[in-house]
Amino acid sequence: MSAADIAYKSKKEALMNKITKRKYEELEFTCEDEEANEVFRKLIIKEKEGYPEEFYQIYTLRHKEQIEKSNLWKYFYKMPKGSILHLHFDTCNDIEWFFETLAFLDTTFFNPETNTFKYFKSKEAAEKGFERLSEIRDKQENKEEWLKNIKTRLIVIEDEVTDMTRHTWDIFETKIQAMWQLILHKDYFKQYLYRTFEHFIKEGIYRIEARAFLQSLFDDDHKQIPLEEEYAIFQEVINKARKNLNPNFSYSIIIQGLKCWDNQQVENYMAQAIKAKKQYPDFYIGFDLVQEEDGYRMMDSFAPALLKKKEIEKEYGVELPFLFHGGESLNFQENSNLVDLLLLETKRIGHGINLIHHAYLMDYIKNDKICIEVNPLSNQILRYISDLRLHPAKTFLNYGIKICINPDDPGFFGINGITYDFYTLTLAQEFDLKDLKLCCFNSIQYSLLEEQQKQKLLKYWNEEWDSFVKQFLVEQAEQKV
């Protein structure tokens, strides 16, 4: 090898080390991590060979059954994933469980004309057009076909995703609203929330920071219950999950408002949110505005209301960070929301896919360590990314931007938990095990846990990760024998 060849090789090695250092600056890897990573990378390449080109395109979940039977699925399922930082609390309905547990109770009513479910305490109290779902079922000649049909009304299905004559956001929001007046009944909600926790905890999730409205739950007469009672319900279910599933689990709420509101409504609601933070500081941890980004006003028009946050915080003596959705848009020319989110000092950004068009902002976000909450399958189903290989997640990661992987609205996409997002994004972008460890680490490091609790959870997650890696290596070695 010539002197020039040696010098070139040395320069390349130095540059690769610099790239790696920037990417993994906050994380260390064990010898077992490095060994497992080499094995994992080969397995990912082999796994990809089992899928057609269309696997990554338009609607990857059409391959759901094949994914669950794949060689690597069990490892993705068991992987200690840390936290979920982007999840809407009312969009996690396990459809099969719902029809086994809640759908045919005497208080579950359905309106076939409007495709909406609603809680009524009795048949006499039911509004016109609503019948007990159990009685509707009993009238059906082909109950199996009827049940199959009604289930499709609660999830976004492939035909709806691929029908370009319809706007998927309209379909999506209609289906979400179809369930609100049922699962948010205080007694139904306890069961729904616990089932949600079961799925996520089994998949290696130890913390959830979910978007939710203040005082969403209602009583038998559809009256909004007091904040104190709502908080008590959440704590009851959280404590049950800690007792039965994992004592390290925690759950907090990012209070969400709507972009369809005027500025006075936003300001008033934000004041209520800050007051709730004062009352329950570890439970209510942030503030966001939601709804389709391209369907409503730009963030700069909300600034006059949002900028009053510091004044209100001073009044109550607490801080409620912004954790905004942004960069989930097809309006590239006019949308300046990402700039506004940074000026408003958001702590994280939900989705952020448009950030790829803004080189300077990528530097800004990297340097300020603002974590991007990526939601790959949601972005595909809602038609922001047609091919998962084109998602900017890997670009962000390689650039040194902090990202974590999230499921957004899994129940309405016909799935449970978070593993599908991990699996499909990994195959599409060839994430290796070190990339995934970094995403899991980020999900805890950039959570809003109090620092002492965060360090405790990181220690627990590290121990679980090390056990996972060792078991992975043992099983791979056994398969070679």
- How many percent of the chain have pLDDT more than 70? 100
* Strands annotated E in 146-249: 205-212
Under 8 Å between Cβ of 266 and 302? yes
Quick one: 261 and 365 in the same domain? yes
DSSP state of 294: G
Dihedral angle, C-alpha 129, 133, 135, 140, nearest 10 °: 100
Under 8 Å between Cβ of 152 and 115? no
What pLDDT does 335 receive?
A: 83
pLDDT at residue 363 greater than cutoff 90? yes
Top mean-pLDDT range of 48-52, 89-93, 159-163, 234-238: 234-238
The residue behind tokens 């999950």 is: 241
Query: Average pLDDT for residues 191-213, to the nearest whole number?
Result: 98
Quick one: 330 and 247 in the same domain? yes
pLDDT band at residue 101, thresholds of 50, 70 and 90? very high
pLDDT at residue 481 greater than cutoff 70? no
What pLDDT does 23 receive?
A: 81
96 φ, ψ to 5°?
-60, -45
pLDDT band at residue 121, thresholds of 50, 70 and 90? very high
Under 8 Å between Cβ of 193 and 234? yes
Quick one: 140 and 228 in the same domain? no
Q: What is the CATH number of the domain that holds 251?
A: 3.20.20.140
What pLDDT does 279 receive?
A: 98
pLDDT at residue 182 greater than cutoff 60? yes
Quick one: 336 and 396 in the same domain? yes
Quick one: 215 and 284 in the same domain? yes
Task: Provide CB contacts within 8 A for 205, sequence distance 6+.
Answer: 81, 82, 83, 84, 249, 417, 418
pTM of the model: 0.95
- Could you give the CA distance from residue 346 to residue 286 in angstroms, rounded to a whole number? 10
Average pLDDT of the chain, as a whole number: 95
- Could you give the CA distance from residue 299 to residue 109 in angstroms, rounded to a whole number? 39
The residue behind tokens 């069990």 is: 74
Does residue 22 form part of some domain?
A: no
Whole-angstrom CA distances from 164 to 142, 159, 169, 227, 386 are: 31, 10, 12, 42, 12
Task: Provide CB contacts within 8 A for 145, sequence distance 6+.
Answer: none
Does residue 430 form part of some domain?
A: yes
- Could you give the CA distance from residue 72 to residue 475 in angstroms, rounded to a whole number? 12
Does residue 26 form part of some domain?
A: no
Quick one: 116 and 211 in the same domain? no
- Could you give the CA distance from residue 382 to residue 200 in angstroms, rounded to a whole number? 23
Under 8 Å between Cβ of 473 and 32? yes
Quick one: 369 and 249 in the same domain? yes
pLDDT digits (tens, 9 = 90+) for 242-299: 999 999 999 999 999 999 999 999 999 999 999 999 999 999 999 999 999 988 999 9
Does residue 70 form part of some domain?
A: no
Does residue 388 form part of some domain?
A: yes
What pLDDT does 268 receive?
A: 98
Under 8 Å between Cβ of 310 and 344? no
108-111 and 82-84 beta bridge pairing: unpaired
Tokens standing for 324? 């905004």
Q: Is residue 475 within a helix (H) or strand (E), and if so which, with residue range?
A: helix 451-480
Does residue 8 form part of some domain?
A: no
Q: Lowest mean pLDDT: which of 248-252, 257-261, 343-347, 476-480? A: 476-480
Quick one: 138 and 275 in the same domain? no
Quick one: 102 and 196 in the same domain? no
Quick one: 84 and 122 in the same domain? no
pLDDT digits (tens, 9 = 90+) for 426-464: 999 999 999 999 999 999 999 999 999 999 999 999 999
pLDDT at residue 480 greater than cutoff 80? no
Tokens standing for 369? 């360590």
Longest dimension (CA), the chain: 91
Q: Residue 109 burial by CB count (10 A; 0-12/13-18/19+): exposed, middle or buried?
A: buried
Task: Provide CB contacts within 8 A for 118, sequence distance 6+.
Answer: 109, 110, 111, 126, 127, 130, 181, 182
Q: Which residues does residue 60 pair with via DSSP β-bridges, in sequence order?
A: none
Does residue 64 form part of some domain?
A: no
Q: Which domain holds residue 135?
A: 97-153
The residue behind tokens 């220690």 is: 459
Final residue belonging to a domain, choices 107, 131, 153? 153
Quick one: 122 and 216 in the same domain? no
Quick one: 229 and 269 in the same domain? yes
Does residue 362 form part of some domain?
A: yes
Whole-angstrom CA distances from 277 to 132, 287, 313 are: 39, 10, 10
Q: How many domains does the chain have?
A: 2
